[in-house]
A and B are shown apart, each in its own frame.
Chain A
Amino acid sequence: MAKTHAQTTINGEHVEFLCEPHESLLEVLREHLGLTGTKEGCLTGDCGACTVNMDGRIVCSCLVFAAEAAGAEIDTIEGVARDQKLHPVQQQLLEHAGLQCGICTPGVVMAAKLLLEHNDNPTEQEIRYYMSGNLCRCTGYDKIVRAIQAAASEIRAGA
């Protein structure tokens, strides 16, 4: 079968890959490119575990064909920490115990990071609405929301 060839940018680096035309971006990230930080959850776009940033928007990578990534800029959890330094969202999730099993965490980080890039002082309600597509079955959200609020304070203080 004819494979699709795609050139894309992932975490700032030029990447080329071959994929089946109907393979998802999630499958290619995990199975072809070894970027297993992005998690597979529901495969129906409900849980947000597979959230990545595509051209400045968060998307469920299970609902994107890998072929669509051609020419796009993709950011995944692997590109969030810089020079061994965690992003404030990551650091605060650790400090607030905003994770237990950790499966939802990469998606939570990708979504919260973009939220704070657009709004570094969101209300609790704004956080909860924005994060409604990231399901967590362990912590019950409260700690996640507090971690995001703390990360927002940290970002505001550093700005």
Chain B
Amino acid sequence: MQEVRYERPTTIAEATELLAQSNGITKILAGGTDVLVQMRINSQIPSLILDVKHIPELRELRIDGDGLLLGAAVPSVELGESAEARKGYPGLVEGAEYIGSSQIQSRASVGGNLCNASPAADTVPALFALGAECRIAGPDGERTVPVEEFTTGVTTSCLQKGELLVSIRIPDPAAESSSAYLRFTPRNEMDIAVVGAGAAITLDKGGTCTAARLALGAVATTAIMVPEAADALVGSKIEESDLAKVAELASAASKPITDRRGTADFRRHVSGVLASRTVAAARDRAKAA
């Protein structure tokens, strides 16, 4: 039987070195809520289990004038317990809180949700909408990539050998702005998104939209931005006719497959419905902000 190692580095340099030297299957471990399940389903024992939860940069949660800094291994429960995060980044908190039970919330991280690279990941449409950036460390130093470029396909990411996600940064939201995430699932809780939609909306004092970002999840191999629908909102008051246009454009942008959780036609329809509802929710919050 192959050698299995569990390592618990306490610095980024130590982690990237272990990753760079590792041969065979390597699993970066944050909350483990995907790693252990996949290990059992695939009957595949990794040769290196790299527990990154003891690296301070990956456990940092800070909100200041520069925005939200979220370490890649911060569990969802800590994000949800932050009143500042709930106020400034409600779309992201909603996405994170949809994931699993109280037990799962204790362990599962937004960074892990992103790295697991499921097309249905609940935090990713909100990260897209909020313009998140990913800090990546590797043996040759660090780089930053926009979140839209992080996931490259179903279960694949832009991480190269030796690299790990350190943290996610979201810019400080403008004064009259807010965000929302909604998803459709057959059950209310403990389910996987059939469609998810994240939106971030900025208004001026008169309630006219000055900036909008909209993203959809579970309707393509990765989450997708829908810039044509978001751009159509800029300059509008986001009224019923504007929301109808968003729905139409979001349905058109949606590229879903048919599987046991929903047909492609159904998902295209729901993409439009959810996109308009999510934009309306973000608009209402922005007005109250």
A residues bordering B, Cβ < 8 Å? 1-2, 4, 20-22, 24, 43-46, 48, 51, 54, 57-60, 62-65, 67-68, 70, 111, 115, 129-134
Query: A57 to chain B: which residues have CB within 8 Å?
Result: 75, 77, 106-107
B37, A63: Cβ atoms closer than 8 Å: yes
Given contacts A46-B190, A60-B103, A65-B29, contact A1 B6 (CB under 8 A): no
Contacts of B8 in A (CB 8 A): 67, 70
Asked if B36 is at the interface of the complex by the 8 Å CB criterion, the answer is yes
A48 lies within 8 A of B6 (CB): no
A65–B51 touching, CB < 8 Å: yes
Asked if B5 is an interface residue, CB under 8 A from chain A, the answer is yes
Residues of A within 8 A of B6 (CB): 4, 21-22, 65, 67
Contacts of A44 in B (CB 8 A): 37, 40
- How many chain B residues touch A (CB < 8 A): the figure is 30
Beta-carbon contact of A63 and B4 below 8 Å: no
When the two chains form their complex, are residues B103 and A2 in contact, meaning their CB atoms are under 8 A apart? no
Q: CA–CA, A130 to B49, complex, Å?
A: 30
Least distance between B6 CB and chain A CB atoms (Å):
4
In-complex Cβ contact of B5 among A2, A46, A111 (8 A): A2
Report the bound CA distance from A2 to B6 in whole Å.
Answer: 10
Q: List which B5-47 residues lie within 8 A (CB) of chain A.
A: 5-6, 8, 29, 31-33, 36-37, 39-40, 45-46
Closest residue of chain A to B189, judged by CB?
A132
Report B-chain residues with C-beta under 8 Å of the C-beta of A132.
101-102, 189-190
Q: A58-B103, A133-B101 are in contact. List 10 more A-B contacts (CB 8 A).
A: A21-B5, A22-B45, A45-B100, A48-B101, A59-B103, A59-B106, A64-B36, A65-B6, A67-B51, A133-B103
Residues of B within 8 A of A62 (CB): 36
Shortest Cβ distance from B32 into A: residue = A63
CA distance A111 to B100 in the complex (A): 14
Interfacial chain A residues near B288, Cβ < 8 Å: none
Give the CA-CA distance A45 to B34 in the complex, in Å: 9
Q: Is the interface of A mostly helix, strand, loop or mixed?
A: mixed
CA distance A129 to B6 in the complex (A): 34
How distant is the Cα of A117 from the Cα of B53 in the complex, in angstroms?
26
- Given A58-B102, A65-B51, A130-B102, A43 contacting B1 (CB threshold 8 A): no
Shortest Cβ distance from residue A103 to the other chain B in the assembled complex, whole angstroms: 16
Q: Say yes or no: A45-B190 contact (C-beta < 8 A), given A65-B51, A132-B102.
A: no
CB atoms of B3 and A63 under 8 A apart: no
Q: Report yes or no: A1 in contact with B102, Cβ–Cβ below 8 A.
A: no
Q: Which of A43, A67, A131, A133 contacts B100 (CB 8 A)?
A: A133
> In the complex, what's the smallest C-beta–C-beta distance from A2 to chain B, in angstroms?
7
Question: Which residues of B lie under 8 Å from residue A2 when comparing CB positions?
Answer: 3, 5
**Cα distance, A57 to B76, chains bound together (Å):** 12
7 nearest CB pairs, A to B: A133-B101, A21-B6, A57-B106, A67-B6, A21-B4, A133-B103, A63-B36
